[in-house]
Amino acid sequence: MLPVEGERLLWDRFRDPGVARGLVDRIRARVARELGGHVTLMEVCGTHTVAISRSGIRAALRDAVTLVSGPGCPVCVTPPEDVDAMVALAETDVTVFTFGDMMRVPGTSGSLEAVRARGARVQVAYSPMDAVSYAATHTREQVVFLAVGFETTAPGVALAVGRARELGLTNFAIYPAHKLIPPALRALLDGEIGVRGFLLPGHVSTVIGRRALAFLAEEYGMPAVIAGFEPVDILVAIDRLTGMLARGEAGVVNAYSRAVREEGNVLAQEAMWSCFEPVDATWRGLGLIPSSGLGLRPGWDEFDARRRFTIRVRPAEDAATGCRCGDVLRGLLLPPRCPLFARVCTPATPRGPCMVSSEGACAAYFRYERGDEDDAPRGAGAPGPR
């Protein structure tokens, strides 16, 4: 039995609170001295949103650096029609496997968790391979895996689909809902955006490589840093970004070099493109972005649940509810400024995906950024609920 104590010492050093505190001081000093006292940056990735909030980084940099959350929350950007379709599938005789993240997302007629409570076969999977293994041993059930997530997740789903083909399974399919990060960044930068630099998703970058994000500097002149997820990783990235801004530099820097290579993971990319192809996709809150989603290629579309099953869903409109998730995802609105925030929209009674997703910007603010008795984060300027 290998010793447990200290096994992860090297990686855990990226959690060192002393180093983190030193970086906070450095960043604050530079922002005050060289950036006019304040700067706004976007952290694209939902996992960063949670890490930044939970570790207290957002609070520690308050008034110096405003970190707005971007569209990198796959649950948040799944359109309600897709959620409804997934729920509708679960209500038939199909066994639905999903990542836990999707369980509580409300469509227009309930969530997967709610439909499971009514007797539907919905199972949380840690890995898409689990769904394939299940299908192989439960041949009388039709199994569908809800394929949500970005480029970090899609290669694994491709592996699972490949395995299903290898095994000759006729009872396994996926509901394809993957989305791609670079097209979403382009869509943001082609429109209105109020940020001066980007914290880029470290694990998506592990797959796609620094090269796939170089366009942010080459075409849009933005500074951007690829960041890991430990507190020190995030602060190093913010420190680099503020340094680049102070020197007026554009560039895409890899600050997660222990995991991210220039070309990314070529094998993972090949697996992804072997069975998927880019398709136009609707991002909740951002609308239609061309070539920003993944669909199954013609040779693989027997595994597309939308072809195999007839799923009847009404098109949904969430503008009527007053939900401002779209503006939040564009970094144009901080969650506390949404009129519904903490009043009618809470994690227990969510109105939109940014509140229900465990990594949604609104959920992160609600859970981690509330400081005082009127329930509004300090410095956010939003009136508290009355």
Partner 1 sequence: MTHPGGRVLLAHGDGGLLTHRLISEVFLPRLGNPVLLRREDAAVLTLEADAVAFTTDSFVVRPLFFPGGDIGRLAVCGTVNDLTMVGARPLFLSAGFLLEEGLDLEVLGRVLDSMRAAAAEAGVQVVAADTKVVERGSVDGVFINTAGLGVLSPGERLGPEMVRPGDRLLVSGSLGEHELAVVVARGDLGIESDIRSDCAPLNGLVGEIMARCPGALRFMRDPTRGGLATVACEMAAACGMDFYLHEESIPVGEEARGLCDLLGLDPLYLANEGKFLAVVDRAQAESVLEVCRAHPLGASAALVGEVRPGRGHAYLVTALGGTRRLELLTGAQFPRIC
Partner 2 sequence: MCLAVPVRVLTRDGEWGEVQSGGTRLRVALHFVPEAGPGDWVLVHAGVAIAVLDEEEARQSLALLEELNAPGGR
Spatial distance between the Cα atoms of 376 and 78, rounded to a whole number of angstroms: 28
Which entry of partner 2, partner 1, none binds 267, CB below 5 to 8 A by partner kind? partner 2
Residue 74 in contact with partner 2, rule: CB under 8 A = yes
Residue 55 in contact with partner 2, rule: CB under 8 A = no
Number of residues that bind partner 2 (CB under 8 A): 50
Residue 46 in contact with partner 2, rule: CB under 8 A = yes
Tokens 């895409």, residue? 252
Number of residues written out for the chain:
386
Q: Of the candidates 24, 27, 43, 47, which one interacts with partner 2 according to CB under 8 A?
A: 47
Query: Taking the C-alpha atoms of 130, 83, 149 and 344 in order, what is their torsion angle to the nearest 10 degrees?
Result: -120
Q: Tell which positions 198-237 bind partner 1, by CB under 8 A.
A: 231
Q: Tell which positions 249-308 bind partner 2, by CB under 8 A.
A: 255, 257-261, 265, 267-268, 271
What is the full DSSP assignment across 226-267? Answer: EE-SSHHHHHHHHHHHHHHHHHT--EEEES-TTT--SS--HH
For residues 193 and 330, the answer to whether their CB atoms sit within 8 Å is yes
Which entry of partner 1, partner 2, none binds 232, CB below 5 to 8 A by partner kind? partner 2
Contact segment (CB under 8 A) with partner 2 among 18-26, 107-115, 164-172, 337-345 equals 18-26
Between 10 and 348, whose beta carbon lies closer to partner 2?
Answer: 10
Tokens standing for residue 183: 């097209």
Dihedral sign (CA 347, 349, 350, 356): positive
Shortest distance (Å) from residue 352 CB to partner 1: 16
Helix axes 17-34, 231-247, angle to 10 degrees: 20
For residues 200 and 44, the answer to whether their CB atoms sit within 8 Å is yes
For residues 267 and 151, the answer to whether their CB atoms sit within 8 Å is no
Show the beta-strand stretches assigned E in the chain: 39-45, 65-72, 95-98, 122-124, 143-149, 172-178, 198-201, 223-227, 251-254, 276-283, 287-296
Which entry of partner 2, partner 1, none binds 100, CB below 5 to 8 A by partner kind? partner 1
| 25 C-beta neighbours (distance < 10 Å), count | 11
Show the site string, 46-65: x = touches partner 1 by CB under 8 A, - = not. Answer: xx-----xxxxx-xx-----
Q: Using CB under 8 A as the criterion, which residues of the chain lie in contact with partner 1 when the complex forms?
A: 4-5, 7-8, 15, 17, 20-21, 24, 46-47, 53-57, 59-60, 73-75, 99-101, 103-104, 113, 123-127, 130, 149, 153, 231, 346-348, 357-359, 366-371, 373
Q: Using CB under 8 A as the criterion, which residues of the chain lie in contact with partner 2 when the complex forms?
A: 2, 4, 7-8, 10-11, 13-14, 19, 22-23, 26, 45-47, 72-74, 99, 126-130, 149-150, 152-153, 155-156, 159, 201, 203-204, 206-207, 229, 232, 236, 255, 257-261, 265, 267-268, 271, 359
